Amino acid sequence: MELAYIPSPSRGVIHLGPIPLRGYAFCIIIGVFVAVWLGNRRWVARGGRAGTVADIAVWAVPFGLIGGRLYHVITDYELYFSEGRDWVDAFKIWEGGLGIWGAIALGAVGAWIGCRRRGIPLPAYADAVAPGIALAQALGRWGNWFNQELYGRRTDVPWALEITSSTDGRVPGLYHPTFLYESLWCIGVALLVIWADRRFKMGHGRAFALYVAAYCAGRFWVEYMRVDDAHHILGLRLNNWTALLVLLLAVIYIVVSAKKRPGREAVVEPGAADDDSGAASVDKKAESDAATTEDEKTSEADDEAKPVSEAKPESDAADDEAKSESEAAKAPRDEAESARKG
């Protein structure tokens, strides 16, 4: 009797009236939002405009979904075009089946189009979104849990995954939860890239290459544990060979790029710095206007108080005038007195 295991959901879709909410699609959508959110924060920190990552994602995400589906259909064509299969199922992306290799490759093409339209270097954009992509993969892997797919060998470990479905050749039982292993590995990759980027100021696509290399290293051993049908070459699954090849290319890129173009890009988005300086000028002008207004108010208050302070000099002038009149009236009397005595 198993004391502990990870249960699989009884179904992968919930219906809200006529609207089906599929767990696989929901995980992918949440992953995209997280990737765009984190990518935007990193892009702004590098000197880019807020919202640019989302604008380019409008191109990258659809291309990535198409690329991921194409890779899956091409490498597992027998699931859709063999005898007894319906080729229309190749378009049912919500039922699962996305190849990360095709998603990254064609997604990069979409990102390149979006970057080119805005005059942005693709490597700088890739560096900004790399950790977010890893987190998106970590979330997306839980879609396999909803679909009860892509699990590993049989096991009796406490964290084993219980498979209850018997469709498409599945055998109910307890298996290694490879979806969970890969999800946790992707979270570690995201943290690694963030740390390395801060520590070594990686630029010109090297942060993205580090993400690719680290993911491929984990994907190799996770792929080796899986038991679902796959094409084999020299005893290894096709995705194992793909992971090794892409890992090698990523490491070569990091070494060559570090020698040719060390450091980071000085400018990642043309005009973004001017926008910041313009905003700063507006703030300074507002502060100056506020100071001028305050000085004017102070001056007006002083002018209003001035007549009150000058009331005393006017009284003194009145006293002087009265004194002069008294002296003028006294002068004739003095002259008459002097004539009488003479």
In this structure, of 108-117, 194-203, 304-313, the range with the lowest mean pLDDT score is 304-313
Question: 221 is written with which tokens?
Answer: 């051993």
Mean pLDDT, rounded, for 226-249: 90
Q: Which of 230-234, 243-247, 328-332 has the highest mean predicted lDDT (pLDDT)?
A: 243-247
- What pLDDT, on the 0 to 100 scale, is given for residue 82? 82
Burial 209-241 (b: 16+ CB within 10 A, else e): bbbbbbbbebbbebbebbeeeeeeeeebbebbb
Find out whether 98 and 150 touch, Cβ atoms under 8 Å. no
* H helix and E strand count, the chain: 11, 6
Q: pLDDT for 2-26, tens place per residue?
A: 557 899 987 778 777 777 778 888 8
Find out whether 97 and 72 touch, Cβ atoms under 8 Å. yes
Find out whether 24 and 94 touch, Cβ atoms under 8 Å. yes
Residue 296: other Cβ atoms inside 10 A: 10
Is pTM beyond 0.85? Reply is: no
* Residue 9, SS3 per DSSP: coil
- What pLDDT, on the 0 to 100 scale, is given for residue 328? 54
Find out whether 31 and 139 touch, Cβ atoms under 8 Å. yes
Find out whether 1 and 159 touch, Cβ atoms under 8 Å. no
Residue 336: is it exposed, middle or buried by C-beta count within 10 angstroms (0-12/13-18/19+)?
exposed
In this structure, of 45-54, 109-118, 226-235, 253-262, the range with the lowest mean pLDDT score is 226-235
Find out whether 38 and 131 touch, Cβ atoms under 8 Å. yes
Find out whether 149 and 23 touch, Cβ atoms under 8 Å. no
User: Across the chain, where does the E strand assignment appear?
Assistant: 13-16, 19-22, 161-163, 173-175, 232-233, 236-237
Residue 28 to residue 30: CA distance in whole angstroms:
6
The pairing of strands 232-233 and 173-175 is unpaired
Residue 138 to residue 45: CA distance in whole angstroms:
24
Q: pLDDT for 89-100, tens place per residue?
A: 888 887 778 889
Q: pLDDT for 179-208, tens place per residue?
A: 999 999 999 999 999 999 999 999 999 999
